[in-house]
Structure 1
């Protein structure tokens, strides 16, 4: 009976996390759309990003707490689920940088080998993953997400707001591809 209760608790936690990830994904999409629009106008439009970040932050603290709980559990495909959330948080932090809510040092930002997903990817020995097309395809878009994010932080810190916005907008396509590939890998 205790095992059944633990399974129900984990299932409930996973459902809550899934719901929050859907909300965060929607917020990230809204942020990306806003960034594309801002890239076409000027740096004076950062208020639009700020308003969207308010929406995104609404569930951010609760999601972070649940993800920390998830990280402590031994679950199948845990890293893939956590990595999906990590990448949404990464995109949100970049948007927060644009409106002055976060300071990011490009020299301190993780490359695609140093984040949770990269460390997992580089250490995988399970042939189910290594031979899966989604796993093999993950490296390129994952590297692009980090490359453009680090570039955005560098440009922003150099005072080139518009170019930083453009760099962040370039993250959208590879980030969606990373999310899609991770979705495939969570089915293994």
Structure 2
């Protein structure tokens, strides 16, 4: 009875080491109990192959999980980009609609400007015609005034001739008066015989006096006429000067009106061109707005497809993480390390999605370094098996830093400071990479030793 009991106990020890995939322990037990080890070799080899296959499955599972979580992060980022792009396209479409409305308003104002410019051109043309007619009338008036000036000069010459004739008549009257005086003297000397002659002499004297008086009055009138003629001549000359200046000014106005007419016509043409261009711009803007609306609809469809893809990736990720978590229950350090990689990927993904949704994390999901599966393994079996390796210390420090950062980001999110939390995501990803690098180094140590040490 003793031998079978010992063999059974030895077999259990060998099988226990094989089931735990503890290669170093299995070698020790086989060396201590070579007969039992040899007898159980087919079983232990089968268990080793089974553990190797399980490790390969776990490793492939973690690779799939890394790809699906990366896909989820990429689709989330891509979807955010789609939303931002859709918002920007919507903003551009609204701006284009406003531009179309502005183009319509510009076209309307340009049309009104062209219409007003056309009316102004007509008015300017009418003013130009009137001004041109007025120039002709002023020319006629100037000609009439110059004829009047020549008539005044001729009248002045006539009055001068009258003055000369009046002087002659006055002189004759003076001589006649002297003759009448001499006749009266001679008649007085003749006495009674010269009485008749005296009467004639007196009448001649009266006629000479009247002639002298008439010539004096004529001289007065001609003097007045000469003065008036000189004044009129001066006024005519002044009028001619003013008329000449007015004519020059009016000609300048005619030239200016012609220039204005050209400018107004140019404004009219340009206003028509602006109206046509604005109308065309309005049509282009409307077409662009419709195209942008179609693009927005396409972006919404693409966003829905991306969301569906993210949902499918979420299902695959959750299933892979659940499978890896199940594998991690086996006492195989290689499988456990693969499983905890999946758990930390899911933990980081949950934290990232909470930041994107700006929603606090479930407190149950925020574990400390010592509470998660990897932390417990590092404090227990992992320290016993790998504690002497430098990779173990670096993994333990990186894992502690990872959970500290996750707790700080979760606290920021709970405090409503999601932006500050998002700013530390890169630091968290660096710590996660350090954890994965430490796990990879421990797996390399295990592979170098032919299995779990």
TM-score tier (shorter):
0.7 to 0.9
1:136 aligns to 2:393 (yes or no): yes
TM-score by length of 2: 0.33
Give 1:98 deviation, angstroms. Answer: 1.6
Instruction: Name the CA shift for 1:107/1:72 in 2 (closer, same or farther; >3 Å).
Output: closer
**Greater helix share, 1 or 2?**
2
- Per the alignment, residue 350 of structure 2 pairs with 93
Over 3 Å counting, the alpha-carbon distance change for 1:102 and 1:184 in structure 2 is farther
Is 1:119 paired with 2:372?
A: no
Q: Distance in 1 between matches of 2:73 and 2:436?
A: 12
Aligned 8 A contact 1:138 1:178 in 2: yes
Contact 1:81 1:186 in 2 (8 A): no
Residue 105 to residue 69, structure 1, CA distance change in 2 (3 Å) = closer
Deviation at 1:79, TM superposition (A): 2.4
User: Contact 1:141/1:174 (CA < 8 Å) preserved in 2?
Assistant: yes
Aligned 8 A contact 1:28 1:91 in 2: no
Match of 1:69 in 2: 326
Matches within 5 A, 1:1-188: 3=46, 7=50, 10=54, 13-14=57-58, 16-24=60-68, 26-27=70-71, 30=74, 54=311, 57-100=314-357, 103-105=360-362, 109-124=366-381, 128-187=385-444, 188=446
Q: Give the C-alpha shift of residue 74 in structure 1.
A: 3.2
How far apart are the structure 1 equivalents of 2:64 and 2:391? 24
Deviation at 1:65, TM superposition (A): 3.0
Q: Gaps spanning 5+ residues in structure 1: where?
A: 39-43
Q: For the structure 1 residues 97 and 173, does the alpha-carbon distance in structure 2 shift closer, same or farther, using more than 3 Å as the test?
A: same
CA distance in structure 1 between the aligned counterparts of 2:440 and 2:329, rounded to whole angstroms: 21
CA distance in 2, matches of 1:170, 1:125: 26
Over the aligned positions, Cα root-mean-square deviation in angstroms equals 3.7
> Which moves more between the two structures, 69-78 or 11-20?
11-20
Separation in 1 of the partners of 2:365 and 2:398? 21
Q: Give, in angstroms, the shift of residue 113 of structure 1.
A: 1.2
Q: Deviations over 1:113-169 (max 9, x none)?
A: 111111111113665510111101112221221111111111111111110111333
List runs of 5+ in structure 2 lacking aligned partners: 1-41, 82-86, 88-302, 447-453
Mapped to 1, the partners of 2:68 and 2:419 lie a distance apart of 25
Q: Answer whether contact 2:398 2:431 (CA < 8 A) is retained.
A: yes
CA contact (8 A) 2:337 2:374 kept: yes
8 A contact 1:129–1:135 mirrored in 2: yes
Write the distance in 2 (CA, Å) between the matches of 1:107 and 1:127.
Answer: 29
CA distance in structure 2 between the aligned counterparts of 1:130 and 1:28, rounded to whole angstroms: 35
Which is greater in Rg? 2
Aligned residues: 176
C-alpha distance in 2, partners of 1:62/1:168? 25
Taking structure 1 as the reference length, the TM-score comes to: 0.73
The structure-2 alpha-carbon separation of the partners of 1:27 and 1:186, relative to structure 1 and needing over 3 Å to count, comes to: farther
Offset at residue 18 of structure 1 (A): 3.8
